[in-house]
Amino acid sequence: MTGSGSARSRRLSQRVRSRGGLAALIVIGLAIVRIHAAFPDAHNTPPTGWSGPVFTLSQAYPSTLPPLEPLSKRKWAQLDFKNPAQAPQYLKAVLDYCLEGNTANNFADVAHNTVRTWYHTPWLHEDGRPGAGDGREFIHGLTKERISRSKELGPGQNVPHANWAVGFYNPRGGFTIGQVWKDPAHPDPRKAVFPSHTVTCKLLFTAAPVTEVPFLDGTLEWQADINRAAGIGPRPTLRLLQVDVAVKDPRAASTTGWVFGTFQYEKAASASPNWWEHLVPVGLMWGSDLAHLKLDQQTQEEWINTARGQTLHLGRKNLVLNGPVDSPDGSCASCHGFAQVPRVNNPMPQISRTPPPAAQTGPPVEAYFRNIKAATPLSADYVSVDYSLQLQIGIARAINSGQAHLPPSDLNPMLRGRGAIQPAVTHIEEVRRDDP
């Protein structure tokens, strides 16, 4: 981040602290059932004269837990995701839920969806490290994801291409985000226990041109300020490649507590002019099934759509689910299981920044792909944020910037026989899909 960017971030942080407290008083005084914070929308503000779309962070989090929606709105709850015949129906039901009320404006403003409000996680405006340029851009709120290496998106992909994404949570998930960030200066990861039937959805876009990935012809296109350009001219065009969904489903409690699914766009999947009709399920999973994975056998805690048109890579040795933007060495569940916030500096065990390569065996594979139950910490050195990488990264960026701190001593008990209360954590490593 440049010097001017750092100054801007400090000013934004001051607004968070001053306006956040005022908002809390307003909520109490008028009995409004939402928590109104004042987290920054994006890293940069639009330039003077900008007439295009501008992203607004959806942050009026519910202050009380919203009740479960009726089963007619939660059709996945009536389907058995472990049954191969019902798994694709389960995925479609979740996708339809995410699309409902969002397609008319192509997800331009999920806060004003007339069916249900969706919510973003804060503090993703901040860059992960100075000058990284990966914080939220101002047009659509996209953050930088893993880079697709050459040929990962097909034989026509000649060079690496960047990927950018934006994710959001349904009202039950939004409630939890609001509880974690109720005090903007002291995010509390212990509150990150998502209720059943929390749903999260993520749109992932690639900078790859159609000439290299022709199956993306006709997909949703967004301009995005990914280069932080000056002036009001057009920004680079990104194309929707992947849509991720996840549901906190009690029927998955014995493994991870979550059902993860991913879709990819395919031009040939439909003749419809609607881009969402071209989303093809890649698969779903509720665990990484380490027992089979160690034997180089197809894992059983998943369903894979073998009829998809574009057979892009999956996860480790193509034996476990992962999306086309994700690392071919990891899996959906294994990566998100490391959404953990350390209580202390230099926590144990250390979290690997990348999945073990395909040639590696033994303890590194066992450590990375073991199932971690929902909201379960890796050790006494950590607090789980319940499979939410967005929460983990947001908290890390707030702490690492020095503009927020974890709640005091109750998060820092005597650990690992050290014999004394440890200092509060001052640096948190971000957990990513892979090093971008």
Residue 410 belongs to some domain of the structure? no
- Residues ≥6 apart with Cβ < 8 Å to 307: none
Nearest CA to 279 out of 294, 261, 292, 296 is that of: 261
Q: How far, CA to CA in Å, does 331 sit from each of 18, 162, 181, 302?
A: 41, 20, 28, 11
Residue 163 belongs to some domain of the structure? yes
Higher pLDDT, 22 or 43: 43
**Contact (Cβ atoms closer than 8 angstroms) between residue 126 and residue 398:** yes
Residue 425 belongs to some domain of the structure? no
What is residue 256's predicted lDDT score, i.e. its pLDDT?
98
pLDDT (average), residues 289-298: 97
pLDDT (average), residues 415-430: 71
Residue 428 belongs to some domain of the structure? no
Domains held by the chain: number: 1
Q: Say yes or no to pLDDT of 11 above 80.
A: no
* 104-126: pLDDT as tens digits: 999 999 999 999 999 999 999 99
pLDDT (average), residues 300-320: 97
Query: What does 203-260 look like in DSSP terms, one character per residue?
Result: EEEE---TTT-GGGTT--EEE--TT--SSSS---EEEEEEEEEEEE-GGGTTTTSEEE
pLDDT (average), residues 232-237: 97
Residue 255 belongs to some domain of the structure? yes
Residue 105 belongs to some domain of the structure? yes
* 197-226: pLDDT as tens digits: 999 999 999 999 999 999 999 999 999 999
pLDDT band at 432 (very low <50, low <70, confident <90, very high): confident
Higher pLDDT, 38 or 172: 172
| Token pair listed for 254 | 């014995």
Domain carrying residue 167: 3-327
pLDDT (average), residues 411-428: 65
Residue 407 belongs to some domain of the structure? no
Phi, psi of 184 (to 5 degrees): -60, -25
Residue 434 belongs to some domain of the structure? no
Q: Say yes or no to pLDDT of 413 above 70.
A: no
